[in-house]
Amino acid sequence: MTAHRSTADILDAAVHVREAARNATSGAAGVDTVLEALSEVLEYDHASLTRWDPLRRRHTTLAGSYPEDATAYIETRLHHDPVFPVLRTPAQGGLWLGDVPPRLLAASPGFQDVLSPLGIEDGVAQCLFAVDGRYVGMLNVSTRRPRRTPDPARAVVTLLTESLAATVAVREEPGPPGGLSPRELQVLAELTTGRTNREIAERLYVTPRTVGTHIEHILAKLDLPNRAAAAARAVVWGIEPSG
């Protein structure tokens, strides 16, 4: 049982997680091996690693053991949960269930409707960021038993976030439509809705000025006169926002 293991044992287990993450990143093993290795660091009843899809605006589960309804919540609704803005802050680090203010838990459908019925009493949700600052996905871990405090596994999970982020991050693929970057494709998709720069900025967690710059680049790359023409091109390509 992880609760009875020494700090040295947990650190050794963390090395195995990093090795599993390296193998998964190189394609030598599946992402599920990362979660298996993580269970030696932090005993859990349910866990998942998900990748954020910025175009579809949802998470995709790469490996996980949550029930179907909980997995569906993580993938399609978690980013609308009142707790998510706290999680999404890079400086936050992992947010452990026992540290969430009761008022925030009471307002969280994820806890009230999904975790609580499963008997979850502890765990951690950790947003993952690439080295360039992009949000790339999440680690979710849940247990029906409260953990010891202080717990060395808490610090170790934080130390592993870089490896976990590399595991879930999308590898760059050649030849996007029109030579647009992933972020420019996001903005192009939003143009089909008629939203203003400010409204697009709020959806993509950037500034209106940044959106304006992306639109300028889109028009230049596609040799189009205005945003209406860009929106029409997006429709032809079948590019549209989700949510």
Measure the CA–CA gap between 36 and 224, rounded to whole angstroms: 50
pLDDT, tens digit, 9 for 90 and up, residues 94-106: 899 988 999 999 9
pLDDT at 211 over 70: yes
Task: State the burial class of residue 236 (Cβ atoms within 10 Å of its Cβ: 0-12, 13-18, 19+).
Answer: exposed
- Residue 73 tokens read as 């919540």
Q: Report the pLDDT averaged over residues 226-241.
A: 86
Length of the chain: 243
For the chain, what is the mean pLDDT? 88
Structure tokens at 148: 């010891």
CB-CB contact of 137 with 59 (8 Å): yes
Give the residue, 189 or 238, on which the prediction is more confident: 189
Every domain of the chain and the residues it spans: 2-168, 177-237
pLDDT band at 108 (very low <50, low <70, confident <90, very high): very high
Of residues 234 and 216, more confidence is placed in 216
| Bridge pairing between strands 58-64 and 122-129 | unpaired
State how far the Cα of 49 lies from the Cα of 192, in Å rounded to an integer. Answer: 31
| Ranges 84-88, 109-113, 205-209: which has the least confidence | 84-88
Say what the pTM is.
0.70
Question: What mean pLDDT comes out for the span 173-200?
Answer: 85
Q: Does residue 192 come out as left (phi exceeding 0), alpha (psi in the -120 to 50 range) or beta?
A: alpha
Contact yes or no for 184/227 (Cβ under 8 A): no
Assess whether the region 2-168 and the region 177-237 belong to the same CATH fold. no
The percent of residues in the chain predicted with pLDDT above 70, rounded, is 91
pLDDT-wise least confident of 30-34, 156-160, 168-172: 168-172
Domain 2-168, CATH homologous superfamily name and number: GAF domain (3.30.450.40)
Check residue 92 and give its pLDDT: 66
* 148 pLDDT tier (thresholds 50, 70, 90): low
User: Does residue 61 carry a pLDDT above 90?
Assistant: yes
b/e 45-69 (16+ beta carbons within 10 angstroms → b): bbbbbbbbebeebbbebbbbebeee
Mean pLDDT for 133-146 is: 90
In angstroms, the CA 243 to CA 221 distance is: 27
Mean pLDDT of 133-160: 85
Q: Are strands 58-64 and 95-96 parallel, antiparallel or unpaired?
A: unpaired
CATH of domain 177-237: 1.10.10.10
Cα 238 from chain centroid?
Answer: 25
